[in-house]
Structure 1
Amino acid sequence: MNTDVAPRLGGWQQAWRLVAAAALGFPFWLSTAAALPRGCAADTCSWLVTGDPLVALGCLTALLWRRRFPLAVTMAVAVASGPSTLAIGAALLALCSISTRRRPVEIGVVALVYVAASQLTLVLYPIKTPPGSLPLQLALPTLSAGIAAAMGVAVGARRVEVWSLRERAESAEREQSAREAQARALERNRIAREMHDVLAHRISLVAMQAGVLDHRDNLTAEENRTLIRGIADGSRQALEELRDVLGVLRAGPGRPEPPQPSLDRIPELVADARTSGLDVTLTTTVSGKPSDGVGRTCYRVIQEGLTNAAKHAPGAPVHITVEGTAGDELHVRVHNFPPTTTTTQPPPSGFGLLGLAERVTLAGGKLSHHRAPDGGYVLTAHLPWPDHDHETRS
């Protein structure tokens, strides 16, 4: 993990830190002045009132670049704190600042330089020290350096923790946004699929019947009435089914859905297609009753096949074969022959077979569609049919 997490400081934050550093160095400067012999400050010890404040001012100015050159600025200020006791506050601030990086070797080197530089005060000024006081002279700078380093490490750890929490929050927001986007996409796909399954079949049959009325002028009055009645009934059923689908999509989680199509309703689907003018033949050899999911998918395959036959092969015979056995597979085949009449076709949606392929894949089956050798079109689906009854008895 990158531990060098330093926030950008504003102007007022920089200012109060520099003021705090100057205020921290002032007690050290006063204690040094108090330890000097009387009258020394105006004579041999004039450095205390001239050079010491100037060096401290230079150190405070150098602190403005401690974010850009942390190690170089900290080392320079630590060395300068030896001849300038007023710069000790700047040195401690620099040490605290560099300790936020939490690099032990770096902190140790800077602290050692700071403690060693603090002993230059005894060289510059004639301060009398009792014999054996060296440990005491090292204790105060060592203690101050330790406190500054500990504060810097604590601040650095806090910054890393805040940065980590912020990253987690941002990551959680991104994941939530991604989940919401995925949920919206899935919902749009579900709505589109349901709309297509409900409307495409009915509207295709209505369009086929309207095309027959438009292109054939040799129909009897009874045939015309049958086609017109079929258009009216198909339109009404399409509106009713659309209302049911919209009601489900708008309903809350507790609202029950209307009955879904199953294998038992395939003869009814074929009968509606025949009423609308399609020449449909259904052959069913199914032993047993598949699950609702398999039956519904089989229904949708046949519905899509009849819809495409009504769109692209008006007047052509359609052969539907459904066969299967529990414990094996359920095979569905919809074969429409080449069109026998020419009518104005509705614009293709291009999503029917895509949505159907998704349904079949989710059911664990395989879907294929291709042009037949006779010029027609073949749509086939192979759906797994596990024998749950046999497993239950076992």
Structure 2
Amino acid sequence: MTRTEYRWLLPSAMADPELPGDRNRTRRTVRDWAVDITVFLCSALFGLLVLAAIEADDTTADAVVFVDSVIGAAACCALWLRRRWPVGLAVGLTVVSIVEPVAAGALLVALFSLAVHRPFKPVAIVGAGALAVTPLQPILRPDPATSFVASSIIGLLLVLLVLSWGMVVRSRRQLVLTLRERARRAEAEAELRAEQAQRLAREAIAREMHDVLAHRLTLLSVHAGALEFRPDAPTAEIARAAGVIRDSAHEALQDLREIIGVLRGPGETGEGERPQPTLATLDALIDESRRAGMKVTVDQRVAAPADAPAATGRTVYRIAQECLTNARKHAPGTEVTVTVTGGPGEGLTIEVANPAPTEPFERVPGSGQGLIGLTERANLAGGRLEHGPTADGGFVVRARLPWPAAA
């Protein structure tokens, strides 16, 4: 997972100006039915009040009152379509309300629904049209009890009020949707990070198991092979090889127990933690390889190996361990040279080299994953590792690791 994948993106509600439910929904919820019935009754009540005021005017003909009643009822019934076609309904009721004051209540509800269910651009266009035609109604259908100016101001304020209210409701819904989206993203991000941490931990354990067990098991393979191909060897040599096999098997089990121990939770084992290898324990590794029959030459130029950082010293130890294992598998009988130089402030350098093998041998199977693991280990430690064949057919591994200067 890259850093770009983890960054916060704009929620879909902000990238897409329309909210879920803005478009047609095949089925209404209980809440939708309750809201639709409420707005229908409110607009019908508003229309009845206006119709009562029209009937109170003796100059209004009965036919006009009848037409107003029919159109007002039709406008209220049309509100059931406000979720499906809010723009068309608002435009139609705006035109009708120019000559029909009974439809004013339905128009206000339609404008409110438009502001809730559509983005700003169509709301602004339809709202501007409604504001523009509002003064026309007092001209065509004047109210004897109210002046033209008062009627126009009241109409404009009502239109602005319902539009503003609808946009506030929409903004609140967008905010809620944004918070929910961010919560889902945060939860998904936490799960991805947990999975990544588990994967990295498994990879680290796998590298550690390879570095530790490959060294021990190679000793077992070499000495077991020697016993197989030289059954007539002297008794002392057979006993020494058997002792190395026994010690290597014991150490392999101990190292495996140590690595598996990190997978257990606290309190699941009563065994204490074994000390991790450091630069100061490199000599013990060399002595172990010599007892196994390897020819190893050491050039140690670090004045105080015990003062090296623990992580750096452990990395140097693992590099030397893997290189000795590879030399034992792929160049048996050759003399391996281990050179360690450096100090605080100048870094730590380790070089392991061996010449080409001079005698035929049976290769121990290997896939080269050890060098890949060493390169990654050196990179994680802030250094770099180089490896490759030499001109004389040998092989060299060279790593440089940081060693900060003493404060």
Distance in structure 1 (CA, Å) of the matches to 2:292 and 2:42: 96
Change (3 A) 1:194 1:383: same
> Is 1:200–1:307's contact at 8 Å kept on the other side of the alignment?
yes
Q: Give 1:105-144 correspondences, 5 Å limit.
A: 105-106=124-125, 108-113=127-132, 115-116=134-135, 118-119=137-138, 122=141, 129-130=144-145, 133-144=147-158
> Is 2:83–2:113's contact at 8 Å kept on the other side of the alignment?
no
Partner secondary structure for residue 286 of structure 1:
coil
Q: Report the CA distance between 1:238 and its aligned residue.
A: 0.4
What code does the residue aligned with 1:201 have? H
Structure 1 runs (4+) greater than 6 angstroms displaced: 38-41
More displaced 10-residue stretch of structure 1: 85-94 or 104-113: 104-113
Partner secondary structure for residue 282 of structure 1:
strand
Match of 2:323 among 305, 324, 331: 305
Q: Deviations over 1:18-43 (max 9, x none)?
A: 43333222223323332325696754
**Which residue in the other structure is 1:166 paired with?**
180
Distance in structure 1 (CA, Å) of the matches to 2:323 and 2:242: 24
Kindly report the root-mean-square deviation, in angstroms, between the aligned alpha carbons of the 2 structures. 3.1
Q: Report the CA distance between 1:364 and its aligned residue.
A: 3.2
Match of 1:4 among 2, 10, 17: 17
More displaced 10-residue stretch of structure 1: 266-275 or 35-44: 35-44
TM-score (structure 2 length as normaliser)? 0.81
Distance in structure 2 (CA, Å) of the matches to 1:113 and 1:364: 70
TM-score (structure 1 length as normaliser)? 0.83
2:187 is the alignment partner of 1:187: no
Q: Report the CA distance between 1:149 and its aligned residue.
A: 1.8
Q: Report the CA distance between 1:220 and its aligned residue.
A: 2.5
Change (3 A) 1:280 1:341: farther
Aligned positions, number: 379
Distance in structure 1 (CA, Å) of the matches to 2:80 and 2:345: 85
Change (3 A) 1:33 1:41: farther
2:299 is the alignment partner of 1:283: yes
Partner secondary structure for residue 250 of structure 1:
coil
Q: Report the CA distance between 1:175 and its aligned residue.
A: 2.4
> Is 2:51–2:69's contact at 8 Å kept on the other side of the alignment?
no
**Which residue in the other structure is 2:401 paired with?**
383
2:291 is the alignment partner of 1:259: no
User: Matched residues, percent identical?
Assistant: 34
Q: Report the CA distance between 1:97 and its aligned residue.
A: 2.0
2:41 is the alignment partner of 1:23: yes
**Which residue in the other structure is 1:334 paired with?**
352
Partner secondary structure for residue 119 of structure 1:
helix
Distance in structure 1 (CA, Å) of the matches to 2:313 and 2:399: 12
More displaced 10-residue stretch of structure 1: 29-38 or 230-239: 29-38
**Which residue in the other structure is 2:5 paired with?**
none
> Is 1:3–1:156's contact at 8 Å kept on the other side of the alignment?
no
Q: Deviations over 1:116-154 (max 9, x none)?
A: 46437727xxx7x15x72233234433432332232022
What code does the residue aligned with 2:28 have? G
**Which residue in the other structure is 1:53 paired with?**
73
Q: Report the CA distance between 1:218 and its aligned residue.
A: 4.1
2:358 is the alignment partner of 1:365: no
Structure 1: state its 5+ residue gaps.
none
Q: Deviations over 1:336-364 (max 9, x none)?
A: 2333342251343x432222222222333
What code does the residue aligned with 2:383 have? G
Change (3 A) 1:51 1:247: closer
Change (3 A) 1:236 1:283: same
Change (3 A) 1:49 1:267: closer
Partner secondary structure for residue 399 of structure 2:
strand
Distance in structure 2 (CA, Å) of the matches to 1:121 and 1:29: 18
